[in-house]
Structure 1
Amino acid sequence: MPFDAFPRVLLSEPGGSSAQVLLYGAQVVSWKNERGEELLFKTNNPLAKSTGGIYVSLSQLGTTGQVLPLTQNLWSLDSTPLDPSSSGSQSSVDLIFQPIRKDFKTFPSSFELRLHVSLGPGRLTLIPSVKNTDNNSLSFIFGLRNYLSVSDISEVRVEGLETLDYMDCLLQRERFTEQDDAITFDGEVFFCV
């Protein structure tokens, strides 16, 4: 199925900003500001591991100890919203993923994963929630992978990470402690978890 044919939810707000969320993987594939400028990086490279945007990364630790990713699974519209207080000019959607019996080979525990996506003037908010619906313990790794579009990387600064440990994927995941008060960039960077 071509990427453009995937079912999606379109969000818009009166100020003119918009977002598109795929029902496959709950991936946010577009977020445009009030001037119609795309704020998310997207690639047309068919060999890329990700198409960009913002996507949910949830992995359960399986019985073999391997990490089992939650990727292109079909999500449903959730009739029990995470944030019932969101109102006003805010546009939002609540999605839910629940593994079905045939998925239990991939996901050894039963769970529900909910995602609240809301669009407001100048902001896009994603609020995830994981609920264990099994009698067994549930171990998982969760992340929102963000691919932001940047017009001039030399103007970007990330602050507040000093003294945190990280692994450098380009140096065989060697562990380092951040020393600088701000991280700056002069080219493409690959972060891994």
Structure 2
Amino acid sequence: MVERANRPSALTPGAAAPEAQVNIEGSGDSSKVVATLPSGESVEVLLFGATVTSWKSNGGKTENLWLSEKAALDGSKAVRGGVPVVFPVFGPPPKSGHPTSSLPQHGFARTSRWEFLGKSTSEDTVDSNSVKLDFGLYSKGVSEEARKAWPLDFGLVYSVTLSKDSLQTIINVRNEGETSFEFQFLLHTYLKVNDISKVAINGLTGVSYIDKVLDASTHSQSGSITITGEVDRVYQSIPQDTTSVVEDGTPRFDVVRDNLPDTVVWNPWVEKAKAMGDFAPDEDYKHMVCVEVGAVNGWQKLEKGEVFEGGQTIKSLL
């Protein structure tokens, strides 16, 4: 695990500006990378799944991500909450006839241990108060079971950039084998809200979506999304980049997609929240909403040596 060398500081009078602090905490599958800006904002990334489990803005005072009280943070299962990485298949895999058919739901990236590749601080980034953390997952690094189910050669680099008022998460997928492969990708982001009954999601008017609650029927979004029951929708081929979360009339988040055409909106509501053993407290469906950017309508195809890159920037508007 080699950290990138720092670039020389600019020769300016006075003391150098403080840099972001980056530390590795814990051991084994409980290891996490914690980065804190001089202004107090922070992010925590579990090496198991490269799952972002905390993102605090507003000088470190405001937690923006919802994390279940019963989330497994020891590598025993995928994390319930934060920002899990879904790859190379979204949801239950095709029943047969596709290379991902033998994989578990949502693939293996969120249940594999990633490598911390190092950091880039303010001297390497556009924002003078930011830090970028890079994580890698490669064919040889996945479990024997996953490798057997999906025996294709790939390389993933996942970059998490913390800035004063935003969090950017970008995936780079490379085909490192001799044959082409297809994949899906999603960032399963759990946003923290105070009261789901006062939340409206804007920016998807007129977009076609598949409603998984209504037997996977297709509909067109009319106006803002409000949540009064279980919601599980896949919005497809969205023309605009930004989806906004407003709470009680006040803008809370902007979720900006980068080279990803789709967005899933999800809230389990009462019964499903109770049925999930790792969702706690049961009533916390009132305090979260998932706005998940991805490429999940069909498949992305990479030929030998080709690269795909896409992700999101979440802006905290408090």
TM over 0.5: yes
Whole-Å Cα distance in 2 between the matches of residues 93 and 64 of structure 1? 37
Shift in CA distance, 5/97, structure 1 to aligned 2, threshold 3 Å = closer
CA contact (8 A) 1:159 1:183 kept: yes
Shift in CA distance, 89/161, structure 1 to aligned 2, threshold 3 Å = same
CA contact (8 A) 1:59 1:67 kept: no
Whole-Å Cα distance in 1 between the matches of residues 176 and 119 of structure 2? 16
Q: Which residue of 2 aligns with 1:91?
A: 131
Structure (1 or 2) with the greater helix fraction? 2
The AA in structure 2 aligned to 1:41 is: W
Structure of higher CA gyration radius: 2
Q: Within the alignment, does 1:110 sit opposite 2:110 as a pair?
A: no
Deviations along 1:28-76, one digit per CA (max 9) or x if unpaired, are: 0011122422211111246997510011001257984216302310111
The AA in structure 1 aligned to 2:195 is: D
- Aligned CA-pair RMSD: 3.2
Alignment length (residue pairs): 189
Residue 79 of structure 1 and its aligned partner are, at CA, apart by: 5.8
Q: Within the alignment, does 1:26 sit opposite 2:65 as a pair?
A: no
Give the gaps of 5 or more residues in structure 1. none
Q: Which residue of 2 aligns with 1:53?
A: 82
CA contact (8 A) 1:160 1:182 kept: yes
Percentage of pairs with the same residue: 28
CA contact (8 A) 1:92 1:119 kept: yes
Q: Which residue of 2 aligns with 1:159?
A: 202
- Of residues 72-81 and 7-16 in structure 1, the stretch that sits farther from structure 2 once superposed is 72-81
Q: Which residue of 2 aligns with 1:77?
A: 116
Q: Which residue of 2 aligns with 1:177?
A: 220
Give the gaps of 5 or more residues in structure 2. 1-25, 235-263, 265-318
For 1:100, what is the secondary structure of its paired residue?
Answer: helix
The AA in structure 1 aligned to 2:43 is: A
Residue 161 of structure 1 and its aligned partner are, at CA, apart by: 1.3
CA contact (8 A) 1:26 1:55 kept: yes
CA contact (8 A) 2:133 2:161 kept: yes
Q: Within the alignment, does 1:44 sit opposite 2:75 as a pair?
A: no
| Superposed counterparts of 1:135-150, under 5 Å | 135-150=178-193
Shift in CA distance, 181/12, structure 1 to aligned 2, threshold 3 Å = same
For 1:14, what is the secondary structure of its paired residue?
Answer: coil
The AA in structure 1 aligned to 2:65 is: L
